[in-house]
């Protein structure tokens, strides 16, 4: 599918200059762009690339001299990354899912599937499932008994939706994600070593041999609207009530959400983040890759954690955290600086000692 | 299915008070509980919630005044979490797997499947596989050639059991888990940089360009009784002998167990834990979320590691560890305290220096 | 299948001694070895085990006295681990995949599949896919529209290959791996908190409520020859150009590769490593388990990172790194040593202060 530059600009709410009738089929980095590509050069540092590529049209930074850059047309992006969102949405061909229900699927007769669904081969949909209109469900997906999914869902290959899971509108679920595995909750007959050291901060009396009894997960998972779940990410069921994910929250690949966790609205949980059981995460929280949040604690609204931050205690709203254990970003920077100088400091103290001993 | 309060209490080995004929269908948090729910209030802090909900019966902490709380009946839990285990087991409807073998499955004629099995659609079971009685195998599971699985297995959607894997009784395997992938073991023709820096602790002579040759995994995986494997967790085959997981050990979601690893009995390996190749983990070891264990080391019985602990060297039995690199919990607390005060300490030393220089 | 010792030695390019006609069927650790096993004792520490086992033949360290060890034949391995590679390759029966295309698979008529393919049950192959000769594709695999895969591919159970992914020769893809999920890339209408704190290093003016708009992934993934992808590992598509993985690079289980990442040749990325979006990794880089690499940075050729290292800034070629944040290995060792002595240092400074105050 090709697009007129003038139409693209209008759809993006952006200005354009030059020949609005130039047609583009895709987007490309400036130096790789072909004749039918819109070159993406939203920052002056990409200007050189334009000369190397063949693009006739480009998306440029505000104020760029498109004619000097040898272009026939240009779209101007006041906020480049935002324009990228609109542009990539328009140019994305989307997954290639044939309309209708594939004959090699197993769909319970009591399942209700909205109009306009595309359901691929080897999909299973259980009893009492309800899926909104225009669902696109790729091959190998399983949706278990009683799950409810809103309109416009896109569920990719081999994703697993557990029993009684409830999901809002416009879900995007990447391949292999598991929504609604059982929680990881076990108990010993007598007090366990873990319970003991939490009380004593590390002291243990006698160690006894015990084995673990399972606490089953009677709850399920409730997910809001406009949520995206990454590839092979896992969200566990709650013990009694549901584990919850708020509207607009996005989970990256291999993220782990424990049982009973409550994640608020518009959060970003990046690759390999782990949230332990019963933690509560506020709204608009950003956890960079490989962050961890302890069980049963609270992370306030608008908290941002840098990569690998391990949050052990409640984090007040608005905090910017880094480190293991998590501290304020500026404290972390200061501590690391001091730590690097520590060997020198120790040497200095030794010298002072000598001076004092002499006098 | 509904339960009489008196019957529930008897099954849990707990006391009850009030009208034993009150019927409950499920469990709920106090404030959300309906007329047919057993409210769970095993701690006085939940008492207020009871007034907001509609429960007629509750599970209460020992000594609670159930009549003052407006209930018709109450079960008393001396150890709340343990009672939760029994209660949730009784109330768990379990996965909805139709009995019998689904026609859209591919089962090798030489496979032996015990009586009472439920095998879902799109399941593959290879040659020579042996599965004990009452197995419940959900959709999309694959079980490869020669695997042996004990009685009462519950294997959930899309789990992968590799060739010649041996598993004991009562396995619970969450969706997407991979038991028996190939080990990650490679070798270079000449000594590799990794081998060199392990010997020299960081020094490198000349760096040479080499590529990796694969060491194949001839071993498989052996798993004991009463083991649970989390969603999308991965356990690799051994190189020559099997990778092993002991009885009663539980693995959470996204846990990684490298080749040749030996994990003992009754361990808890929480979300995203990783154990590198050939490490040995004792019995009753608890590794909290995102812990890592180095290759070829030993972690003794009853070791407990806090969240994100990275264990680089052998850990003696009974240790409580935290940190990167792992140190004793109390050492970690002390080090962190000192580290926070370090910038002030440095300032103090600078001042002392000035005083000394003057005198 | 059985092998003559003389033939094994010849195939490995190794020397042998004794009766070259002794036959072996498999390999085993010395103490577990049966009559038909080749005992693996490439290091003198395994010598004792030979007496406990029943092996007639063994692979031994150079110079070992095979007759004194009671053997009929021995193969000598100048570099044990390298010989292990050749030996395990010869003895590996490989996955048990029936030749031909299973009738319960869904293969688009426009897909081109090379000669000698083995394609298992419940496999889907999309329109325009091209797969080289001798592909072995296990059950439940999905290969989406337009993907291109070279000769001799081994793709194991439930792996997901996304649309337009390009892969070279001899791919080994472990179960559950996802190649070509959408990138995790979102933008807010106004500057986000994350953008702000990156500029100010932690300072925030006013926090505003915003939600995330998706940047779609128009690029795909390009993978070289001789690459191995671990179980449940995830590689995201690029935004405009492809995410790339070089020749000979090996990814372990649960590794996460973000969008636009470029990984060079002959790298080892161990279990649970995560590389954030747009990072570039050189050639022959080794990242031990649970390492993390920040987005948009560069890790030079031949860098080696110890377990759990979090790389936040560009790493020059040849560096050996450890820690969070990553520092040179020797710096890390020095810092940790000093940190352990820090409480004592603080006490010493307090004492010095007292002495000075007195005088």
Using one digit for the tens of pLDDT, what is the confidence trace for C1-43?
Answer: 799 999 999 988 899 999 999 999 999 999 999 999 999 998 8
Mean pLDDT of C73-99: 88
pLDDT at B123: 98
CATH of the domain at B49: 3.40.1390.10
Q: Which of A194, A202, A206, A346 to mutate to test the interface with B (most CBs of B within 10 A)?
A: A202
Collapse the DSSP code of B37 into the 3-class scheme (helix H, G, I; strand E, B; otherwise coil) and give the result: strand
Inter-chain CB proximity B91 and A218 less than 8 Å: yes
Residues of chain A with pLDDT under 70: none
Give me the percent of chain C exceeding a pLDDT of 70. 100
* Sheet of C292-293, strands arranged across: C106-107, C124-125, C142-143, C160-161, C178-181, C234-236, C256-257, C274-275, C292-293, C310-311
Inter-chain CB proximity C283 and B212 less than 8 Å: no
Residue A302: list chain C partners with CB under 8 A.
193, 207
Residue A336: list chain C partners with CB under 8 A.
325
Chain A nearest-CA residue for C326: A336
User: How far is the C-alpha of C190 from the C-alpha of B103, rounded, in Å?
Assistant: 55
Q: Which residue has the tokens 């154990």?
A: B275
Closest CA to C53 of C73, C76, C69: C69
Q: What is the pLDDT of residues C225-249, one digit of tens each?
A: 999 999 999 999 999 999 999 999 9
Which residue in A27, A140, A304 is closest to C197 by CB distance? A304
Inter-chain CB proximity C144 and A96 less than 8 Å: yes
B288 in a domain, yes or no? no
Which residue in B140, B266, B288 is closest to A142 by CB distance? B140
Inter-chain CB proximity C241 and A32 less than 8 Å: yes
Closest chain B C-alpha to C246 CA, distance in angstroms: 12
Inter-chain CB proximity A140 and B122 less than 8 Å: yes
Q: What is the bridge-based pairing of β-strands B243-245 and B221-223?
A: parallel
Residue C201 has pLDDT above 80, yes or no: no
Helices (H) and strands (E) in chain C, counts: 6, 40
Phi-psi region of A24 (alpha: psi -120 to 50; beta: other; left: phi over 0): beta
B28 in a domain, yes or no? yes
Closest chain C C-alpha to B42 CA, distance in angstroms: 38
Per-position DSSP letters for A50-84, written without gaps between them = HHHS--SEEEE-TT--TTTTT-SEEEE-SSHHHHH
Triad C59, C64, C69: Cα angle to 5°: 80
pLDDT at C1: 79
Inter-chain CB proximity A266 and C349 less than 8 Å: no
Chain B, chain C: beta-carbon pairs less than 8 Å apart: 220
Closest chain C C-alpha to A99 CA, distance in angstroms: 14
Residue C162: list chain A partners with CB under 8 A.
175
CB atoms within 10 A of CB A109: 5
Burial class (CB in 10 A: 0-12, 13-18, 19+), A216: buried
Instruction: Report the domain count for chain B.
Output: 1
Q: Which residue has the tokens 């031990």?
A: C288
Q: What is the pLDDT of residues B12-71, one digit of tens each?
A: 889 999 999 999 999 999 999 999 999 999 888 888 899 899 999 999 998 999 999 999
User: How far is the C-alpha of A57 from the C-alpha of A49, rounded, in Å?
Assistant: 13
C224 in a domain, yes or no? no
Q: What is the bridge-based pairing of β-strands A186-187 and A178-181?
A: unpaired
Set B3, B140, B256, B259: catalytic member: B259
Residue A333: list chain C partners with CB under 8 A.
201-202
What is the token pair recorded at C15? Answer: 């020397």
Residue B153 has pLDDT above 90, yes or no: yes
Inter-chain CB proximity A181 and B174 less than 8 Å: yes
Q: Give just the sign of the alpha carbon dihedral C173, C177, C181, C184.
A: negative
Estimate to the nearest angstrom the gap between the alpha carbon of B186 and the chain centroid.
Answer: 28
Mean pLDDT of B95-117: 95
C269 in a domain, yes or no? no
Contact call for residues C267 and C247 (beta carbons, < 8 A)? no
Collapse the DSSP code of A267 into the 3-class scheme (helix H, G, I; strand E, B; otherwise coil) and give the result: coil
Chain A nearest-CA residue for B85: A215
Collapse the DSSP code of B293 into the 3-class scheme (helix H, G, I; strand E, B; otherwise coil) and give the result: strand
Closest chain C C-alpha to B60 CA, distance in angstroms: 41
Q: Give just the sign of the alpha carbon dihedral B335, B337, B338, B339.
A: positive
Inter-chain CB proximity A28 and C197 less than 8 Å: no
B103 in a domain, yes or no? no
Catalytic annotation, residues of A: 259
Closest chain B C-alpha to A213 CA, distance in angstroms: 7
Which residue in B140, B286, B340 is closest to A335 by CB distance? B340
Could you list the residue range(s) of the whole structural domain that residue A63 is in?
Answer: 3-91
Q: How far is CA A355 from CA A18, A339, B348, C105, in A?
A: 78, 25, 17, 83
Preceding peptide of B325 cis, ω within 30°: yes
The ipTM (two decimal places) reads 0.95
What band does C191 get if pLDDT is binned at 50, 70 and 90?
confident
Q: What is the pLDDT of residues A55-66, one digit of tens each?
A: 999 999 989 999
pLDDT at B42: 87
CB atoms within 10 A of CB A327: 19
A342 in a domain, yes or no? no
Q: What is the bridge-based pairing of β-strands A243-245 and A186-187?
A: unpaired
B36 in a domain, yes or no? yes
Residue B203 has pLDDT above 80, yes or no: no
Contact call for residues A195 and A170 (beta carbons, < 8 A)? no
Contacts of C48-53 spanning 24+ positions with Cβ under 8 A: C53/C28, C53/C29
Closest CA to B228 of B267, B186, B277: B267
C56 in a domain, yes or no? yes
Residue B3 has pLDDT above 90, yes or no: yes
Inter-chain CB proximity B210 and C284 less than 8 Å: yes
User: How far is the C-alpha of C267 from the C-alpha of B322, rounded, in Å?
Assistant: 30
- For chain C, the first-to-last Cα distance in angstroms comes to 87
Chain A, chain C: beta-carbon pairs less than 8 Å apart: 220
DSSP A285: -
pLDDT at C273: 98
User: How far is the C-alpha of A8 from the C-alpha of A13, rounded, in Å?
Assistant: 9
Length of chain C: 359
pTM reported for the whole predicted model: 0.96
CB atoms within 10 A of CB A62: 12
Set C3, C140, C256, C259: catalytic member: C259
DSSP H helices in chain C: 5-12, 47-52, 80-91, 193-200, 329-340, 342-358
Q: Which residues contact B344 (CB under 8 A, 6 or more apart)?
A: none
């Amino acid at each position: 599918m090709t697009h007129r530059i003038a139409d693209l600009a209008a759809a993006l709410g952006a200005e354009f200059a030059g020949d609005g009738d130039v047609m583009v089929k895709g987007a490309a980095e400036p130096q790789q762009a072909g004749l039918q590509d819109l070159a993406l050069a939203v920052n002056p540092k990409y200007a050189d690339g334009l000369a190397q590529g063949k693009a006739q049209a480009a998306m440029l930074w505000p104020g760029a001299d498109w004619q000097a850059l040898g272009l026939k047309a240009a779209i101007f992006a006041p906020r480049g990354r935002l324009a990228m969102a609109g542009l990539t949405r328009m140019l994305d061909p989307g997954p290639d899912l044939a309309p209708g229900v594939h004959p090699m699927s197993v769909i319970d007769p009591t399942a209700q599937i909205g109009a306009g669904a595309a359901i691929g081969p080897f999909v299973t949909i259980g009893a009492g499932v309800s899926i909104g209109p225009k669902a696109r469900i790729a091959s190998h997906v399983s949706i278990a008994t009683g799950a409810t999914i809103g309109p416009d869902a896109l569920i990719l290959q081999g994703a697993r939706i557990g029993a009684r899971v409830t999901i809002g509108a416009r879900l995007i679920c990447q391949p292999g994600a598991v929504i609604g595995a059982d929680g990881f909750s076990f108990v010993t007959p007598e007090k366990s070593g873990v319970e003991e050291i939490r009380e004593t901060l590390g002291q243990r009396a006698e160690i006894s041999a015990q084995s673990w009894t399972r606490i089953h997960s009677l709850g399920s998972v409730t997910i809001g609207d406009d949520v995206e779940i990454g590839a092979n990410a896992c969200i566990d069921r709650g013990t009694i009530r549901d584990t919850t994910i708020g509207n607009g929250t996005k989970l990256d690949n291999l993220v782990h959400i424990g049982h009973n966790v409550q994640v608020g609205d518009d959060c970003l949980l990046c690759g390999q983040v782990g949230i332990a059981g019963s933690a509560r995460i506020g709204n608009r929280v950003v956890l960079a890759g490989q962050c961890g949040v302890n069980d049963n604690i609270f992370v306030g609204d608008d908290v941002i954690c840098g990569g690998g931050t391990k949050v052990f205690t409640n984090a007040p709203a608005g905090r910017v955290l880094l480190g293991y254990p998590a501290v304020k970003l500026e404290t972390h920077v200061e501590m690391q600086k001091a730590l690097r100088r520590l060997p020198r400091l120790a040497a200095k103290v030794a010298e002072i000692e000598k001076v004092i001993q002499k006098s």
